[in-house]
Structure 1
Amino acid sequence: MDSTINFGIDLGTTNSAIAKFVKGEVIVFTNPQDYGRSTLPSVVSYKKDKITVGSKAKEFLEKDPKSVVGVFKRKMGTTESFKIKAINESRTPVELSAQVLKELKTFVNTGESIESVVLTIPASFDLIQSNATKEAGYQAGFKQVVLLQEPIAASLAYANMKKSSEMSDGQWLVYDLGGGTFDVALIKIKDGEMKVVDHEGDNFLGGADFDTMLVEKFLIPKLNEKYTFNNLEDDLKSASGKHNAKYYILLRRAEEAKILLSAKSAAEVVIDGFEDDQGNEVDLEITITRSEFNEMIRASVDGTIEMIKEILTRHSLRSIDLQYILMVGGSTYIPYVRQRVEEILQVPANCEIDPTTAVAVGAAYYAATKQREVSKEDKPKKQSAISIKASYNKASKEKDELFAARITGNTDELFYKIVRQDGGFDSGLKKLSTRINEDLPLVDNSYNFFTLTVYDSQNNVIETDMEAIGINSGFGISGQPLPEDICIEVDDYDNPGLTRLLLVFQRNTVLPTKRTLPFPLNKTILKGSDDEVIRINVLQGSHMSLPEANKSLGYITIIGKQLKRDVSKGSDIEITVTLSESQDLTVSAYLNMADQEFKETFNPKERHTPIDLLKEQVIDLSEKLDEEIDQASESEDYETAGTLNKLKLELDNVSDATESLTIDDVTDKRYQLEDKKRKIAQEIDSATKHKRIKKVKDHYFETKDECEKLLDESGNDHERKTFNDIVGQEQAFFATNSPIKIQEKSDELSSIVHKINWRTPEFLTGIFNWLRNDQPKMNNQVQSKSLIDAGKFAIESQNWDRLKEINFGLIDLLPKDSKQQLSTKIGFGI
């Protein structure tokens, strides 16, 4: 039994493939139902008595289009489902993907039962989409699913195809334009190690969009010219539209024309089999030329090139700094795509690998370096006299790799030998002990296999449970990058009632990763209470944005009745966030005072995007944008007003497109529009950032002056050192132009002010007197009277520590509006 996974699957939008690593090489399995083809169309059809996947399923489109589903990867991680006419039931993208994965299992003709697999995902897939993909793998019967980003897979396929001498240090791009998604990744090789430096992508851009363009911009207008329809586009795209079944047939015929145009200068599309609104039989043959098609997709291809320019700008690179652009994905077969990328960037397009199978091949190479998780049921029941537990790196660029092993069993009069498969290394016969260590020499740029054999004193082989030792000295990858920031939502003390984002992990952080953040609690939580709550919201998206511009991944909610004891305001809560290489997110919150930990693994698999909610969000964002434009105009900030007005035009287009959506729209337009809305929200945030920077800078200097004055009067050495350290960093954090970074430093200064104030007699007495005046509003009159009496005594006896405790007790008895008033009065949160 192999100790590594070895199987890799490219779960594609339009086509999927499966490959296996075998003794240093990767084989791509061929489709047993479609001789000579190495891919499986990601299409599923249903009949009452059977499910069909692949080319045969596509053929049923003509007969029963409402029982056939394709391009469902685009809706992975959404609440969308597909109504299947033949069975009168719905199927989710996860369930449909599982059917494709099950069919791919039948490609494996070796009789193996595959229980562990590497599945590929677009680099821009967020955590929700990633979890949905893993769920599809589990539904298909895999017990272990490891995710790998597609540009990394393509890079591994290419690097392992080339010889080490041909892969010099340098940087290049992977341009992956598939059937439904686009990714571009900047890859760097240095000292034999390959690393993903940065990436951009669009989960709603690919060959399927080119098919849709052909239907919407070419076929529908031609039909409207020749025949009479009241609203043909809605009748095609709406689930309840009378021509909806024909929509899928048109998409398939558009796809056939698109493929033909890669080889010929023109293609014909035949449209027939239905009537127009006046009962005329539709029978039309439409010719589209390659030049017309190229012009149609030009804006989309140029959009991919803009993403490349964004990456180059971020890293201060020019096109000439790139060695080449590796072309991957079925849509890079389109000649115009390759020509346009080369024409604008002046970088050669590298088409050396098969764009349709490269991702599966790279996934298999990666699978050969990942340990297979063996369940108790899988473990061999046969017990050997000698058990060997080995430890070594599965991938290494070192000349020698350390092999270590622990031996269980009677080793008396036993010996061992390690031999490399090619005969280039033989350790010789050595005495076996409970622990062994051996430096294994590696052949560069290849997979090295060694066997460890145990002998008795007569050189008879002793049976052990040791498997072959496999070490890849070819190119590996130094972890996968995080596609977007991971943040938590925290209170914004300068804007009561609002929140801001605190960065936990920045995009492109190499996974796996872990971080612990300590926070003081901003309120007291009483044991047994139902209404006092600590809520930790984890989001994915830019930490520079407003919380509503990002995607919520989940909450940890802690209420009083879960606590073993009361926890006081100011006591510490430690939040630990862990993210695995396959984007499994675990968040734990530890309350020091209660000595309790609350832990949650977030596996959200669905993204909720109701059309009516999307319309409301677009309206709200439009109103906010109008306010920002008015403010910029009033302050004569015409540059910002101009930028915002351009965004207003973009948002108006999104608004118009959103309003035109029918409630039962069957396309994935809503998700594209939601992405556009979110990006516009981020751009509005970016355009008005200077206003927020000025505000937070003014606040920083006000807090700094207050802090400096208090330090002179009542500060200690530790507080002075902290203050000087912060002030010494001013140039650096102002240079970031990040309102959040500057706000964080203001918060640190506020913390010093907070500590000094809460031990200063004048401040404590002033707060106590304010609270005495507010005593009639307090929730518990008996308790508040008792605390006020104790406070008077504490002032008389100058017991300031006791007065501090009493003040906190009284604050907890205040209604929320009075607490907010007090917070504003003292200048920071309570």
Structure 2
Amino acid sequence: MRNKIDYGIDLGTTNSAIARMENGVPIIKKSDTLKDTVPSCVHFNKRQDVLVGDTAYNVMKNDNARALKTLEKGKINSFIEFKRTMGTTHTYVCPNMNKDFSSEELSAEILKKLKSYIQDENISSIVITVPAKFLNPQNEATMQAAKLAGFKHVELLQEPVAAATAYGLSSKNKDGFWLVFDFGGGTFDAAILKSDEGILTVKDTDGDNWLGGKNLDDAIVDQIIIPNLQQNFAINGVLSDSTQKEVLRNAVKFYAEEAKIQLSFKDSHNILSNLGDLPFEDDNGDEPEIDVLVTQKDMESVVAPIFQKAIDITKELLKRNNLKGSDLGSLILVGGPTYSPILRRMLKEQITEKVDTSVDPMTVVAKGAALFASTISISDEVKETTRDKTKLQLDIKYEATTVELDEMVNLKVLKEKTTGTFPEKIYADVVRYDGAWSSGKKLIGEKATIVDVLLVEGRSNSFEINVYDEVGNKLECQPHQFSILQGIGGLDGMQVIPYHIGIAKFFHTEDKDLFLPAKGLEKNKKVPATGVINGLKTRSAIRPGMIKDIIRIPIYQGDFNAEGTNPVLNNFIQEVIITGESLPALLPEGSDVDITIKVDRSQLMKFSAYFPLLNHTEELEIEIMKTEPPTEELLTQEISKAKRTAQKINANEVAMELEALEAQLENEKGSADGKMKILDGLRKELLKLDRAQKSAEWPKVEQALKEAFYELEDLIEKINENDDEGNLNMDKVEAHVQEYKQKIEHVIKDKNIKEAKELTSEIERLDFELRNAVTGNAMDAQLLLHLNDNFGSFHWKDAAKAKQLINQGMQMTTAGKTDAIRPLLVQLIELMPENEKQTLR
């Protein structure tokens, strides 16, 4: 029985690997073809056998070529790169199995294959890596894949954190900033970490879930191979049909992959197909062949723009953290495409000369995952199922990571977990993996015994626990070993939230819903984390026992600049629905709601809503909703609409990017992955448009804020000149004015429209109160008269009650009793809908 998980899996888009801790060292477990990694490829043959890895990959090449005979997409029984559609509703049609497979079902087959490489024990617990920029639906799908593969206890780990763990243990550079540049098969992550005497913390992350080696392959296909075919053969008929074009692109992609790999080591490569490799006829009845010489220069013109996207994301990440390339101690390369000399040169030219190639980009994530796994305790549930109670059961407590050279370990006997008969006196000798240190025999029992262990610097230290009776006979115990990672610390708090997590909240000043992050769940907060949003108001009354009375709270994830944006431009997670069915009493409109969202180490969420008026809490699991891939029609329509907006506000750069997305859509509309990638690109451009529109609005908002403040200053000056202070506390008023000055300076500097509008409303309210006070409540009387004259234009909740209050107030005004109008106005405003209340402010 293991005390810690000890196993890590890098579940990659194109290649995957598994590593295990052995004697304190993370060891990659070789595939059945004796390779460190296995292609993330699955094939189902006609006998309904499941082939995974190299065998499946080789079959897929033939499968894709055979599909050219009929140019029908549905004939394929081989699948790869399905990680790109994790967390979506997209499925893969498999004729041989007569069913459709989800991404997580296919991923589960990869995990089962990796698990099969471990022959000496059954694995129930695992650490699986995911891109740092994975959204909650993608993380949830990864967890589901692991459960389908038979794992009982699953922990998710961000890939850059895994890489930094492996790198940090061996690195001599224990202080300063590191940048993990993780360009994988399907995703890109950049992460800034700070190492302080071996204690690692993640400062910030960024990336793109649709940028990776797949994009390089697609670009080589689209810009080199297909143009060569077009030049020599009549294939326009195939290219004009989106399904046939996708079949052709898949069939020639192997040549692109080979060219990309060969040109990582050679100056030129001849892409050459054999007769019969492309078994279809062009428009003239000829069978096409590929024959094109590709040089390093040719390759650079195709792949450099894709690498540049990753470098631009990295530059922006450094910039917003006030760092330059020269501030970095190391730039750590992760992922197969980082072998490219083109990329390495670009990184040295644009980021830093300190590009570190000391770790294997293909295996560093799996090794880091295993190291991290060696610090995570196996769940109690799994421990109980694997416990051999005939052996002496031990409880071992210790810090799994440390930067110190010695560590304190607590050992005690769990007699209640042991069925075997054991002597009264039991001794334990803790021996280090290298045999160069041991604790000597120490008496242990049901109370904890402290053992100080000595560690070897800069590695995971494995210890064997040897247990003896009083006369020196060896006894069997569980667990019989443990490991402590020396030279690196802070692993338990290294992972951070990659997005703001929040809700769509209605803001009166904007008269619309905006994205509001939960306090405590802002981007880069350490996980596990808890976020709260207090003071939300119900928009309608919720009656107890009424399932049709609903409170809707939509949950979103938004990037670093998402606060205050249109919620639909962010990533929708799920809409939490609370009904009157479970409420103990009536919840009136406008009642307070306080929400709490808890995020665990794997970034999965739990939700609770507290209703102070009822002293009642609703606890809910957030069921993550799968994303629906967009249709070609929707993308065409939304891109066209965005282009019109961009042209209208002269957002020329955005307009150019939208045109590029249009071209991408024409090229990749036959692929679900391609359409998801285009949707992600469109969302980013729409966020830019949103900011551009706010920039255009800012001058008016700034002017309104300044005018409100100047009017308030003029009013205060007149009050002071005319000695109209009366019962006013002018010292307090002056303090407010000074506070407003500071806030205005801050708001104008940040050009924060939402805060500017809120501050304008606050200033106008104070102005109203002052004018009302010095004019004998004339402002209240004027508001009452406005409500009376425009009575029919308001949607009163109780018109009869409102009319009664207004008539009562008008009589008071006539009698000169204006002091008593304010309480009536408060009641009248409460009888209005929320949006109409705002018009009075």
Normalising to structure 1: TM-score of the pair? 0.84
- Matched residues in 1 for 2:712 and 2:573: separation? 38
Question: RMSD in angstroms over aligned alpha carbons?
Answer: 4.0
Specify the code of the residue in structure 2 equivalent to 1:349: V
The match for 1:266 is: 269
- Structure 2's unaligned 5+ residue stretches are 65-75, 417-421, 720-724
Aligned position for 1:81 = 91
Mapping of residues 588-667 of structure 1, within 5 Å: 588-604=608-624, 606-611=626-631, 612-629=633-650, 644-658=651-665, 662=669, 665-666=670-671
Provide the C-alpha distance between the structure 2 equivalents of 1:227 and 1:290, rounded to a whole number of angstroms. Answer: 25
- The one-letter code sitting in structure 2 at the alignment partner of 1:565 is A
1: distance between equivalents of 2:762 and 2:156? 39
* Mapped pair 1:490 → 2:505: yes
After superposition, give the CA deviation of every residue in 1:546-567 in whole Å (9 maximum; x if it has no partner): 3232111112233445432233
Alignment match, 2:110: 100
Structure 2 vs 1, CA of residues 6 and 744 (structure 1 numbering), >3 Å: closer, same or farther?
Answer: farther
- Counterparts of 1:3-18 in structure 2, within 5 Å, are 3-18=3-18
Which residue of the partner structure matches residue 600 of structure 2?
Answer: 580
Is 1:470 aligned with 2:480? no
Q: 2:122 maps to which residue?
A: 113
Deviation, structure 1 residue 16 = 0.6
In structure 2, the CA distance between the partners of 1:595 and 1:453, relative to structure 1 (3 Å rule), is farther
Aligned letter for 2:523? R
Give the structure 1 partner of residue 38 of structure 2.
40
Residues 472 and 726 of structure 1: CA distance in aligned 2, closer, same or farther (over 3 Å):
farther
- Within 5 Å, give how 1:325-404 maps onto structure 2: 325-375=331-381, 378-379=384-385, 389-403=395-409
Q: Tell me the CA shift for residue 591 of structure 1.
A: 1.0
Q: Give the corresponding residue for 1:277.
A: 283
Structure 1 residues 399-410: aligned runs within 5 Å:
399-403=405-409
Task: Give how far 1:519 is off.
Answer: 1.1
Cross-structure match for 2:58: 59
Query: One-letter code of the match for 1:625?
Result: A
Amino acid at match of 2:127: V
Measured in 2, the distance between the counterparts of 1:757 and 1:486 equals: 42
Secondary structure at 2:60 match in 1 = coil
After superposition, give the CA deviation of every residue in 1:706-746 in whole Å (9 maximum; x if it has no partner).
Answer: 88989986679999978866655554454444334545656
- 3-state SS of 1:613 partner: helix
Q: Does 1:288 align with 2:315?
A: no
> What is the CA–CA distance in structure 2 between the aligned matches of 1:798 and 1:8, rounded to whole Å?
73
Aligned residue for 1:553? 573
CA distance in 2, matches of 1:617, 1:758: 50
1:585-635 CA-to-partner distances (Å, cap 9, x unmatched) read: 223221111222233333425222322222232233223323323xxxxxx
Look up the equivalent residue of 1:538 and give its one-letter code.
I
Range with bigger deviation, 49-58 or 409-418: 409-418
The gaps in structure 1 that reach 5 residues or longer are 630-643
Q: Is the 8 A contact 2:591 2:613 kept in 1?
A: yes
| Structure 2 match to 1:206 | 212
CA distance in structure 1 between the aligned counterparts of 2:375 and 2:836, rounded to whole angstroms? 59
Residue from 181, 187, 191 that aligns with 1:185: 191
Deviation string for 1:161-203 (max 9, x for gaps)? 34xxx22312232222222222222232112212222233222
**TM-score, normalised via structure 2 length:** 0.83
Cα gap change, 1:483 to 1:377, in 2 (>3 Å): closer
Tell me how far 1:109 sits from its aligned partner. 2.2
CA contact (8 A) 1:615 1:659 kept: no
CA distance in 2, matches of 1:608, 1:670: 11
Q: CA deviation at 1:420?
A: 5.0
C-alpha deviation, 1:802, in angstroms: 7.0
Mapped partners of 1:333, 1:551: distance in 2: 33
Is the contact between residue 654 and residue 676 of structure 1 (CA under 8 Å) also seen in structure 2?
yes
**Matches of 2:358 and 2:302 in 1, distance apart?**
27
Note the 1:478-557 alignment, pairs <5 A: 478-502=493-517, 504=519, 505-521=521-537, 523=539, 525-528=541-544, 533-542=550-559, 543-544=562-563, 545-557=565-577
Partner-residue secondary structure (3-state), 2:160 = helix
| 8 A contact 1:14–1:180 mirrored in 2 | yes
> In the alignment, what sits opposite 1:640?
none
Whether contact under 8 Å (1:501, 1:546) holds in the other structure is no
Deviations 1:251-294 (A, max 9, x none): 12221232223333222221532211222233443332333222
Tell me the amino acid that sits aligned with residue 516 of structure 1: V
Are the counterparts in 1 of residues 129 and 369 from structure 2 also a CA contact under 8 Å?
yes
Moved more, 2-11 or 55-64: 55-64
8 Å contact 1:149–1:480 — kept in the other structure?
Answer: yes
Amino acid at match of 2:485: N
CA offsets, 1:462-498, max 9 Å, x none?
A: 8876654432223243411322222322112123245
Question: What is the CA–CA distance in structure 2 between the aligned matches of 1:38 and 1:573, rounded to whole Å?
Answer: 53
Q: Which amino acid aligns with 1:53?
A: V
1:93-242 pair list within 5 angstroms: 93-110=103-120, 112-162=121-171, 166-235=172-241, 238-239=242-243, 241=244
- CA displacement at 1:25 relative to structure 2: 0.7
Within the candidate set 447, 455, 461, 2:460 is matched to: 447
Structure 1 residues 357 and 754: CA distance shift in structure 2, 3 A: farther
Read off the aligned partner of 1:599 and give its amino acid letter.
E
Aligned-residue offset at 1:367: 0.6
**C-alpha separation between the residues in 2 aligned to 1:376 and 1:91?**
29
Q: Distance in 1 between matches of 2:745 and 2:763?
A: 16
Provide the C-alpha distance between the structure 1 equivalents of 2:411 and 2:639, rounded to a whole number of angstroms.
61
Distance 1:753 1:39, change over 3 A: farther
**Distance between the aligned counterparts of 1:702 and 1:588, measured in 2?**
42
More displaced stretch, 401-410 vs 40-49 = 401-410
Deviates more, 1:494-503 or 1:770-779: 770-779
Quote how far apart the aligned CAs of 1:104 are: 0.8
Alignment of 1:602-751 (within 5 A): 602-604=622-624, 606-611=626-631, 612-629=633-650, 644-658=651-665, 662=669, 665-666=670-671, 668-701=673-706, 728=742, 730-742=744-756
SS in 2 for 1:61: helix
Moved more, 405-414 or 728-737: 405-414
1:633 is aligned to: none
Please state whether the residue corresponding to 1:511 is helix, strand or coil.
coil
Separation in 2, partners of 1:295, 1:549? 33
Calculate percent identity across the aligned residue pairs.
28
> What is the alpha-carbon distance in structure 2 between the residues aligned to residue 727 and residue 417 of structure 1?
70
Q: Aligned partners of 2:406 and 2:528: how far apart in 1? A: 26
Q: How far 1:229 sits from its partner (Å)?
A: 2.5
Contact 1:273–1:283 under 8 Å retained in 2? no
CA separation of 1:406 and 1:253: change in aligned 2, threshold 3 A: same
C-alpha contact (below 8 Å) 1:175/1:325 kept by paired residues = yes
Distance 1:172 1:500, change over 3 A: closer
- The answer to whether the 8 A contact 1:479-1:512 is kept is no
Q: Deviations over 1:328-363 (max 9, x none)?
A: 211122232223322444514322222211111111
Shift of 1:41: 0.6
**Alpha-carbon separation, structure 1, partners of 2:406 and 2:398:** 11
